[in-house]
Amino acid sequence: MGAHDPLYTASKSTDHVVRGLARLLQQYQSSPYLRGLLTSYLNRIQDLENALWEVILYRLLPNASGIQLDKLGKIVGRGRGSLNDSNYVLAIQAEIAINRSDGTPDQMINIATLSLPPGDVFTYSEAYPAVALFFLITVETSVNIALLFQSLVRSKPGGVKLMLNYLTALPADSFTFSPIAGPVASTTQGFSDFYNPGTGGFFAGSLST
């Protein structure tokens, strides 16, 4: 298997000294001077490989930070703005998907997933005549909501309206109407009133194009 084999994968070598010394002819294996000289050269080779792998690893999106992220963002066409590293990683990985997207629902759902921290939950639906509806159920920071909305705007097809609804508080504290069966008194999820203005549920937020 060679370097041009499609199944070939490179891996970091951490034992240049050990492998190099093992290749000495038998009559030189016990020579401390030759082993010491060879070790000094092999240590330099190991240092060079370590440095090369740092360059390789820091160019991979999950490992990049700071200026490495700025360079990756420039390559894919997504500027940092005021985003910190963790949010900028989300923006870049979403941009990679956007650059390959045709605006299909599945692709937009994938872009939404890439634009959010792992574990966030959202739903997707459609409305007549051409509306894509996203509802972010997990409560997120305003920065991540803005990042998600920007990514979805960049990925949606022309002529399609985008609506992004999101919770501003946990579901247990969010506003909801009573069920059809009858009214239910609630100081945490209903309307506030004149006597208790500080009660009631939190309304959802909404962004649209």
Decide if 134 contacts 145 (C-beta within 8 A).
Answer: no
- Helix-then-strand count for the chain, H and E: 6, 4
The structure tokens listed for 128 are: 């007549």
Segment 81-86 long-range contacts (CB within 8 Å, at least 24 positions apart): 83/143, 83/147, 86/117
pLDDT, averaged in runs of 10, over the chain (209 residues): 54 88 90 92 92 80 87 91 91 93 93 93 93 94 93 92 90 76 70 70 86
| Per-residue exposure over 49-81, b if at least 16 CB sit within 10 Å of its own CB, e if not | eeeeeeeeebeeeeebeeebbeebbeebebeee
pLDDT at 1: 45
User: What secondary structure letter does DSSP report for 136?
Assistant: E
Q: Give this prediction's pTM.
A: 0.67
**Residue 34 CA neighbour count, 13 Å, CB half:** 12
Which of 178, 191, 194, 122 has the alpha carbon at shortest distance from 152? 122
pLDDT at 175: 77
pLDDT at 36: 93
- Note the Cα 150 to chain centre separation in Å: 14
